Chains A and B, each alone.
Chain A
């Protein structure tokens, strides 16, 4: 699909008054959404295959001045790219200096594993500090994505312990 064709399509959708148009071809998938307030500039979501990112960067620059929203994500039939972006994850942090333990004893099972669901109140680890054993509970709901500290290693105040995917 040519750049000008995308622009024409956006103009057409904006004029037509429809709120959402989805168009999918072999190489590209386009979703155009118009705000409910019927502003002339519609918001645009362009989804392109990862294999051809250079094609989709160009439309992004064109549509941006029209206050459109452009995202580049793989279309549904291509495999998802590995999520390197950790920003959507929340961390559970250590409230104190101490030693991090994943279980309640040397021969006990770990409190949480990668992939486990946590809810507020669920114990995720123990921090031992000065002979005090502190069970740390999750204060968020989500799925454990990563354990950031090795068992029985020292941790600092506010050090991230777990990455949690809240979605």
Chain B
């Protein structure tokens, strides 16, 4: 593991309901080193958004959680954790798939798409006291060697590159980029560097598409993301509208 702290301590589990939940409970019980990673071969109750399950075949994919203590972040900036995680995955996939041509994008707020199909998802659970982030548990699900996704519009590294990957090596690459972006965020101009990179990789940025919200279909183009993480889109009459995660449906 070519890092200072992310992934230096790895807790390997055979099966767990959710690595995020395991990490949160661990933090309540014992002192945990920053950068500790909890990884499971099989997650029986991996979670996406509230209530959504993350479906992964056992031992095929990477499902892990990384514990960070970003006490430098205040509540109004907590979306930056989402941005740096998406950027870390973006850079990791770019490095892993550098030999073949693929279109890698960050789909707002933090899904990763390869050739318009979902390859990775992120679920972050923070812990706040007095408006400061005390602990962050960064949950990542990355499809690696799974090939069958049924009806889902999903893909994996193997499906893209037609070869089998070592989960350990993929984990090391993701950890390396997560640490890099986490340290970048702490730099003096970290926020603007992260903002620029995130926008550069954003799926459908500046492209006119049909979206749906409030039961209405309308033409608009994504112009950016505001500080709180809301999607900013430009409507056909040039006015700007902001949307929360479940308020807008992508094409």
CA distance A135 to B130 in the complex (A): 12
Question: Is B131 close to A, CB under 8 A?
Answer: yes
Interface 9-mer from B121-129, B180-188, B233-241: B121-129
Q: Does A121 have its Cβ within 8 Å of any Cβ on chain B?
A: yes
Residues on A with C-beta less than 8 A from B201 are none
Shortest beta-carbon distance, B122 to chain A, in Å? 8
Alpha-carbon distance A137/B24, docked complex (angstroms): 13
Q: When the two chains form their complex, are residues B123 and A131 in contact, meaning their CB atoms are under 8 A apart?
A: yes
User: For residue B81, which residues in chain A have a CB less than 8 angstroms away from its CB?
Assistant: 132
Q: Does B49 contact A (CB under 8 A)?
A: yes
Residue among A105, A129, A131, A139 making CB contact with B228, cutoff 8 Å: A129
Complex partner residue of B124 from A96, A105, A120, A132, CB under 8 angstroms: A132
Interface string of A129-161 (1 = CB under 8 A from B): 111111111110000000000000000010000
Chain B 110-135 interface mask (CB, 8 Å, partner A; 1/0) = 10000000000011111111110010
Cβ A130 vs Cβ B244 within 8 A:
yes
Given the interface pairs A96-B75, A105-B51, the reply to whether A130 lies near B127 with Cβ below 8 Å is no
Q: Does A82 contact B (CB under 8 A)?
A: no
Judge whether B109 and A157 touch: CB under 8 Å.
no
- What distance in Å separates the Cβ of B83 from its nearest Cβ neighbour in chain A? 10
In contact, B128 and A95 (Cβ under 8 angstroms): yes
Residue from A101, A106, A130, A135 in contact with B125 in the complex, judged by beta carbons closer than 8 Å? A135
Which residues of the other chain, A, contact B9 by a CB distance below 8 angstroms?
A: none
Contact of A97 with B by CB under 8 A: yes
CA distance A29 to B167 in the complex (A): 78
- Are B124 and A131 in contact, CB atoms less than 8 angstroms apart? yes
Q: How far is the CA of A130 from the CA of B77 in the complex (A)?
A: 12
Q: State A154–B129 Cα separation when bound (angstroms).
A: 20
Complex Cα distance, B125 from A137, in Å, reads 13
Residue in B51, B74, B78, B129 whose beta carbon sits within 8 Å of that of A132 in the complex: B78
* Residue ranges of A at the interface with B (Cβ–Cβ < 8 Å): 95-97, 101, 105-106, 120-121, 123, 127-139, 157
Q: Given contact pairs A120-B129, A123-B127, A132-B81, enumerate 9 new A-B contacts (beta carbons under 8 Å).
A: A106-B51, A130-B244, A131-B49, A133-B50, A135-B24, A135-B126, A135-B127, A136-B128, A139-B129
A-B contacts, 23 listed (Cβ < 8 Å) = A95-B74, A95-B128, A95-B130, A96-B228, A97-B228, A121-B129, A128-B50, A129-B229, A130-B79, A130-B109, A131-B109, A131-B122, A131-B245, A132-B78, A132-B82, A132-B124, A132-B125, A132-B126, A134-B125, A134-B128, A135-B127, A135-B128, A157-B75
